Amino acid sequence: MATAATASATAATRFTLLAGAGLRSRISRRPTAVRFQRQRGLTTTALLKTADLLPKAQGQPETLDYRVFLVDGGGRKVSPWHDVPLRAGDGVFHFVVEIPKESSAKMEVATDEAFTPIKQDTKKGNLRYYPYNINWNYGLLPQTWEDPTSANSDVEGAFGDNDPVDVVEIGERRANIGDVLKVKPLAALAMIDEGELDWKIVAISLDDPKASLVNDVDDVEKHFPGTLTAIRDWFRDYKIPDGKPANRFGLGNKPASKEYALKVIEETNESWEKLVKRNIPAGELSLA
């Protein structure tokens, strides 16, 4: 029969052993919404509830310090680029709003800052604005990346622009900076910006009244006549007032089908996975 001293020593030894591996194991299992285990950068989003995500602003709008973070239900910061899951169901994807429709401040995910918040872009220390309002909600597909080391044989051998894939959401509702919406892709435009490939996925939010009517590129022209041409022309011309040349478009200067858009999404998601696994050098990009 163990003495009190022996039992105490045994308990102390057991605690010492658990203080390392066991305690760390308990910590790693603690639910943290999305600050999960990483395999040298690879993330899993099994614990993230996108319905609980909220934008949280820091600083004053239209200042250099202004940032919009995403926070989970526990108030913890998450990355709109890395932590929000790409897929939201069969043929449905998450879309993070950077620029609400009918606004002109050039907001974008800060890909080189921790938690990749949304901020206003700058040039030579000055805040950037589009020369006129953008007419659609604009933002990114999380967990995608346009690889600047990979040439696209379909689009003049252009290399990726080192950013997440852009989305132009054509629904009627004006979203807010940092909103996470469920969208279905309808078409893709292969914009070439100063030699770099900058995909524009045309999509519609599932909560839009016309969402059930549009399922491919031809439906957009039927139910939103002139919209695809307007999107192409807007992105083609927006730099001209600053004295820069017009952007160009590959794929015959025409929007590609939904099937092609899904191909773009799949390929850029694979590129993102390689990035966060460190199979491709991240450079100044933040993977946190």
Indicate the burial class of 90 (C-beta count within 10 angstroms; 0-12, 13-18, 19 or more). Answer: exposed
Q: Tell me the catalytic residues.
A: 130
Q: How far apart are CA 170 and CA 211, in angstroms?
A: 10
Q: Which residue has the tokens 């139910």?
A: 223
Q: How far apart are CA 109 and CA 119, in angstroms?
A: 6
DSSP E strands, the chain: 54-58, 67-71, 77-78, 87-89, 92-99, 103-105, 107-109, 118-120, 122-123, 126-127, 129-134, 137-141, 151-152, 158-160, 165-169, 180-193, 196-205, 248-249
**What are 254's two structure tokens?**
């025409």
Cβ atoms of 54 and 71 closer than 8 Å = yes
